Structure 1
């Protein structure tokens, strides 16, 4: 099966993969995640919550396509572009953890990537927010930025999704404390934008009664402030399982 994702830099990491229960055109579930869906500290994808979810769905004879990080910046525009470019595929339910990459601070190159994805099918101009100056991995420094979506764009996202799904499940993001020890120090704006991420998810959920929240903001099982430990994946899987049942 060839899936189209449109504009944006393709992810070259091992966490870029997809799974499908069959290769027809009708499915019960579309599950699409950023790197946190398939990424584990030991790259053992069978410990990831999306793999656990695939086994669960198969046990109930539910069909699915599971997509993990197709783009380097996998955001809501990635999902919308996928749906528009693969309009022959039909789904009943959506499960996604998107939103974190949309909101967290980034260098200008990554902001440009996100904007190019948005502009493929949307004419709405969103706002760019400036944060602090930050030293990059290459030793240079740059002012970090993030995208602030306008309400009109959120409505557009919701309308697109609700045309294609009977119900949409949105997974929010854990709130990580500044005091957590990480291999690389994260900018102050990173922690601030976690709350912005969850507000974005809440806003999307509240825009339509078909949208449901899977709340994991209290789950702090992460090894780098972003990606989940084996325990974290298990906890998230069980939370999703209980929500979609």
Structure 2
């Protein structure tokens, strides 16, 4: 078992996003990314192949977080861990990670990159992050309830610099897997969008599963493809792919999110005048 304590003002601290009130909360996929790095440091002779995260409680971006890595198996080929993410003594997330020692190909095949316009034809998106350029294909504002279309979104991302370490590259890929999933789902439903989240909608990412398809190396742009396959009973499900601009498949992912009306005991916030 290995413990990693992360301070909010440290070099690997947290970027907070507003939950609609005064709190600054941590993106669940940032916790997932840091759990992957913690596993890689615990198993230096293996590489991370997949992870499944369940987010049970919001994490305050201004307070320390503890990552406890429990190695549940470590063999010659395969290894697995369970990473507990805790804050103030309470479990906030659990991440199950599979790692292995890659071998040569027996056969190789992957689903091709979708035929969509390239990054130069995509529209800049306002999701600030130092070193990241984000552009959405054919959608000016993913949060706008009036941006109606098929329940899919294609996002081009460019990072500068691209990490050289395998674990950091995978952490960076995992970090964006939850950002557009709720918007993807709501895009098919007129008059409802993520601009209304924490106002007349209660939304939260509940699970993210990500699989890395070796080798995970890239330069230039990445294409994240999101497809919402279901919404109902207060939950949605989105599946996605991550390709390089040249068409190589680096990763695939699925995400479950809560999309509901606020509970009766939760006072809905007023919707901003301009959505």
Which protein shows a greater Rg? Answer: 2
Instruction: Give 1 or 2: higher helix fraction.
Output: 1
TM-score under structure 2 normalisation? 0.29
- Higher strand fraction (1 or 2): 2
TM-score, normalised to structure 1, is 0.32
